[in-house]
Amino acid sequence: MKLIFLSCGSKENPDGVKKAAEELKAAGFNSVSYISPNTAHEFQTWRRSLKELAPLLFNK
């Protein structure tokens, strides 16, 4: 697996997402977390998350 991308809105469980990404990174995985400001589980969160993820898919 080349990348694990975890994201959520700031009104959800951002601490859990950040912690999970840190633990995965410590275990040797390339993990990235993104927290969408002032959103919950909604379209805006998904849209922002995709905007953050897309460039990472093409990094070498």
Q: What is the secondary structure of 36-55 as a DSSP string?
A: ETT--SSHHHHHHHHHHHHH
- For residue 1, give the nearest of 20, 19, 27 by alpha carbon: 27
Q: How many domains is the chain built from?
A: 1
Instruction: Output the tens digit of pLDDT for each of the chain's 60 residues.
Output: 899 999 999 999 999 999 999 999 999 999 999 999 999 999 999 999 999 999 999 875
Structural domain that includes position 27: 4-57
Output the pLDDT for position 60.
58
The reported pLDDT for the residue numbered 50 is 97
* pTM for the structure as a whole: 0.89
